[in-house]
Structure 1
Amino acid sequence: MKRKTSQRLLNLLVWAIVALTLSPVAFMVYASLSDYNDVVTGNLVNASFTPHWSNYREMWVNVDFLAFLRNSLVICGFTTLFSTILAALAAYSLARFRFRGNHPFSVAVSTTQVIPGMLFFLPLYMLYIQIDDAGIPMMNTYHGMIFLYTAMFTPASIWIMRGFFVTIPRELEEAAIIDGCSRLGAFVRIVLPISAPGIIATASFVFLLAWDEVFFAWVLTSSTDVQTVPVGLRLYMGQHATRYDLMMAAAVVSVIPVLVTFFASQRWFIKGLAAGAVKG
């Protein structure tokens, strides 16, 4: 009896946490369908509520939000691709090869994640200006943002992938090498297919981080041809009025690619987390 009671209390606690976590999302969706005056005055709870679907139509007219979605997909997509490839090669080297500085380098990679990115802003900004002056445009360019995001998110990807590669038995690669595969061939034909859940989980992690990043995207870009979704959401904040209803509608739309990415890779994401947690 006590066990059933405790199980019910635990279930209630879990549902309470889930409800608390989803409440901001529910408010965002509700506000996106509310009238502007109701959102501004805070009068969102009323019996005569009628969904204002026109907010979703007007948000595209008020701001060219499609351009920001395109920019985010391009920048985050290439960042995910490059970061995953570089992290896979580096993580495999750290997991399989023993060389001088292996452990210090692994520690240094993980240490970079505890340093706030804000500390890199000033030297990075000056570096980008100097490269621009040298004739290689980095500000307000796709490749400038992709290079930055790849450098920012690759260290975490290396640390995560290393845990996946360590769990793969060395005997599988040794058997492939005995059968005539090179080290690279064994990595491509044996290690990568087995570690696919971990690679997909890491790629999803990088994509979500890049999609949500706003500070560097806001400072290093000033053109709508390059600016990403988080920066585009700020354009609904005008000098004299802030269209919170349109901002909430745009926020709902911007969440859709994230949800699609997560649900499409959910099975692999869970497998990857479970595999990476077995052995470090």
Structure 2
Amino acid sequence: MTLEAIDVHHAYGAEPVFDGVSLSVTPGEVVGIIGPSGVGKSTLLRLLALFDAPDHGSIRYENEDVWQVSEQERLEYRRSVGMVFQEASLFDASVRRNAEYGLRVRQSWIDRLRHELSSIVGKTNGTGDAIEALDTVGLREKANQDAASLSGGEAQRVAFARALAYEPDILLLDEPTSDLDPRNTAVIEDAVLEAKNRGIGVVIATHDMHQAERIADRVAVLLGNGIIEVGDTKTVFDNPTDERTRKFIEGELIY
């Protein structure tokens, strides 16, 4: 279930973003992407999620270039990947219904029909997974509450639960705690580690280097048009091989 970006080049018009980026994530590990704002952390996640295609290089899942397969096969890959964005976008519905959304859209049309029929008699197909995911982020007791009544931090926790509910192989997180208070941040970080313990591979882009130190097994440092260093988290922070990494971590590099 390894997900890899291999020698990826990407540009927006004439503006290059990446010039040969390579990164991988395996089941049950957390990979942190750190770097200053505007350097391309979100773009790299979009490439891994198949929202955008690289100009050159490949995105590989289980050793297969996912841009060289059929559209149906690519769709199956997308169903194996979950993504949580910096800002939560919830529907005008209950917390539970929001958490179930990923489960519902991944069902076949006949399964969706069964879901709607079972809802009539009070047994919603997939609810157990959604409730378990809400439990992971500490919101089980608010399952029947209107999502619009939640705080910003709680809404982000629901967005995380929504991605976790259908048990993706890979979970991509784009600055998921950047606007959260310490309590909500701690809940999300614990949920990331729970996902890791379930065998899910997690890639988290974060500007919070202390967060990367706390939860990442490996760290990739994104500067310029590529990754300048990737390795074991403790090694990268304590004994980086690239002088730019040291300067960035210590705040000496103005970027």
User: The TM-score by the shorter chain falls in which range?
Assistant: under 0.3
TM-score by length of 2: 0.23
TM-score (norm 1): 0.22
Higher relative contact order, structure no. (Cα contacts within 8 Å, ≥ 6 residues apart): 1
Q: Which has the higher helix share?
A: 1
